[in-house]
């Protein structure tokens, strides 16, 4: 009678262990999917930020392209990139910051 009780007890424990493991599997699956969803949302937010940044840059380049032949734009670029000045203008150089 003791052997039969041990078998029943062991099989009952094994049965409940399997039931618990089967019940925990969906919870584990949900947790993993939730982590993946959060990671994908983070990636989507980053990609959206990059898209907005590139759209701003495209708009700036379109504006530059539209005005590249304007006299004002040419003058601005000459002053900025080539350090050119008009005939009537004076160039002042700060000798204290020249060597630094």
**pTM of the complete model:** 0.53
For 32-93, the DSSP string reads HHHHHHHHHHHHHHHHHHHHHHHHHHHHHHHHHHHHTTSHHHHHHHHHHHH----TT-----
pLDDT in tens, 2-60: 556 666 788 889 999 999 999 999 999 999 999 999 999 999 999 999 999 999 999 99
H or E stretch at 13: helix 2-67
- CB count in 10 Å sphere of residue 78: 13
For the chain, the structural domain boundaries read 2-84
Higher pLDDT, 54 or 96: 54
């Amino acid at each position: 009678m003791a052997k039969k009780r041990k078998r029943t007890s062991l099989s009952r424990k094994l049965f409940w262990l399997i039931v618990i493991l089967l019940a925990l599997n969906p919870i584990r699956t949900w947790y993993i999917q939730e982590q993946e969803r959060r990671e994908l949302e983070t990636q989507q937010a980053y990609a959206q930020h990059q898209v907005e940044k590139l759209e701003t840059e495209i708009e700036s380049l379109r504006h530059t392209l539209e005005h590249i032949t304007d006299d004002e734009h040419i003058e601005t670029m000459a002053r900025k990139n080539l350090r050119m000045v008009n005939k009537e203008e004076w160039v002042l150089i700060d000798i204290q910051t020249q060597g630094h």
